[in-house]
């Protein structure tokens, strides 16, 4: 299967209940005690979001990433400062992909978490999202971090599906003639 290069606005995505969000968050926090939250991006400075944007653009421009998600283009990816305790997220707009991260969330594992949302529009924190997050963590943060996250998935009963190169993402399945409408 090949990936389509169609962009989707967040408003076009059918929302479904996010059943495993809290379990996935708990699984991801298992990386913290082991010191595996990844690199920190200037949590106290005003330019931390620009450091994250530069990092994520390098991720998106890598051959490894392009092979998996060719429809995501680095020139259309922006990171903005989030405001407030819960102002974190990834979304699409007419101009590309926007990731918001407040100063408390400026670490590699959370930047990759939000990038996984961009890669899996329409899946919230579902099985596909969890598999893509694990794939991103494994490649960019290493096998130890991935093993800790996978262990967290098991302990917190997070359902995930291994990512396969060329697999359709949830939004593409929703809009295909044979997809669930």
Please give the helix or strand (H or E) that residue 80 lies within, else none. Answer: strand 77-81
At residue 96, φ and ψ (nearest 5 deg) are 140, -145
pTM: 0.76
pLDDT tens-digit map of 99-150: 888 877 788 888 899 899 888 877 788 899 999 999 999 999 999 999 999 9
| Cα separation, 114 vs 52, whole angstroms | 11
Closest listed residue to residue 159, CA positions, set 167, 168, 150 = 150
Rounded Cα distance, 122 and 100, in Å: 18
The answer to whether 74 and 57 are in contact (CB under 8 A) is yes
If you average pLDDT over every residue of the chain, what do you get? 75
């Amino acid at each position: 299967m090949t990936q389509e290069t169609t962009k989707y606005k967040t408003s076009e995505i059918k929302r479904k209940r996010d059943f495993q969000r809290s379990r996935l968050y708990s699984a991801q926090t298992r990386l913290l005690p082991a010191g595996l939250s990844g690199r920190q991006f200037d949590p106290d400075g005003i330019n931390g979001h620009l450091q994250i944007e530069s990092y994520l653009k390098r991720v998106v421009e890598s051959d490894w990433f392009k092979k998996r998600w060719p429809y995501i283009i680095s020139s259309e990816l922006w990171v903005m400062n989030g405001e407030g305790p819960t102002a974190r997220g990834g979304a699409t707009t007419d101009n590309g992909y926007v990731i918001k991260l407040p100063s408390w969330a400026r670490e590699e594992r959370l930047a990759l978490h939000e990038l996984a949302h961009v890669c899996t529009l329409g899946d919230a924190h579902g099985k596909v999202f969890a598999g893509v997050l694990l794939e991103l963590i494994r490649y960019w943060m290493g096998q130890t971090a991935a093993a800790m996250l996978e262990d967290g998935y098991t302990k917190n009963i997070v359902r995930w599906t291994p990512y396969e190169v060329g697999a359709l993402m949830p939004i593409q399945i929703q809009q295909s003639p044979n997809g669930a409408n």
